[in-house]
Amino acid sequence: MTGRVLILGGTAEARALAQQLHDVGVPVISSLAGRVARPRLPVGNVRVGGFGGPEALARWLGELAITAVVDATHPFAERISASAARAAAVAGVPLLRLERPGWEAVDGDRWRWVDDLPRAAAAIRALGAARVLLTSGRQGLAAFAHDNTSWFLIRCVDPPDVALPARHEVLLDRGPYTLEGELALIDRHDIDAVVTKDSGGPLTEAKLEAARIRGVPVIVVRRPPGPEVATVRTAAEAAAWAGRQPSG
């Protein structure tokens, strides 16, 4: 018998894990940040909103009698991962990181790796790109706000609420995307550079193949370093780990 598992979610892997644990009768609470207006919900219990920092999360783990935590948040969600590591240590609750593998370039790709979004903005200027497909998400768009030279097609799930570059169009959309669709988008807007985070996973990778086919350079933002936590790549591995944890 397994105790109650907290899944820090907001990703496809987190939803897959909730489903797998639900299917074998493990009690689960999934936690979402509440960033997206209409999130895709996992099966089972869901709570929404920040905990109020690591100490508050540690208390919450005790109050809810959580016996294991899986941090399945997005590879770029730095603060919640740090908070989870600290809270789990304070509360003495086992923690596992579920993080999908990053993308890897193949023959024909024209990728430039950068450390963060400001450097991605600098890379656009260095490339002299005129028409940029910006897929790095709503947060961090401010890094591009001062670019008055390029035109940006800003694709995100919800409308941005920060300053945007002078010349842009916002495209509200969410994956999964198809190769056919991404090729059409690049062609329709005459895109000559793509910006992406190294989010990994199949749902949004069609843009990379489309860029390769069209010979378009891709500026790829490296993942930030996370806390030192035991890590698995798949929901199945995380489900097996959760099943092995003591029930508290």
**Window 128-147: residues binding ligand NAP (CB under 6 A):** 137, 139
208-240 burial code (b ≥16 CB/10 A, e <16): bebbbeeebbbbbbebeebbebeebebbeebbe
**Window 81-110: residues binding ligand NAP (CB under 6 A):** 83
Structure tokens at 83: 């908070």
**Residue 196 lies near ligand NAP (rule: CB under 6 A):** no
Q: How far apart are CA 56 and CA 166, in angstroms?
A: 41
- Stretch binding ligand NAP (CB under 6 A), from 25-33, 122-130, 164-172, 238-246: 25-33
Nearest CA to 141 out of 114, 123, 168, 115 is that of 168
- Stretch binding ligand NAP (CB under 6 A), from 49-57, 127-135, 174-182, 211-219: 49-57
Q: How far apart are CA 248 and CA 52, in angstroms?
A: 24
**Residue 51 lies near ligand NAP (rule: CB under 6 A):** yes
**Residue 11 lies near ligand NAP (rule: CB under 6 A):** yes
Q: Give the pairing type, strands 218-221 and 193-197.
A: parallel
**Residue 52 lies near ligand NAP (rule: CB under 6 A):** yes
What residue ranges bind ligand NAP (CB under 6 A)?
Answer: 8-11, 31-33, 35, 50-53, 57, 73-74, 76-80, 83, 137, 139, 197
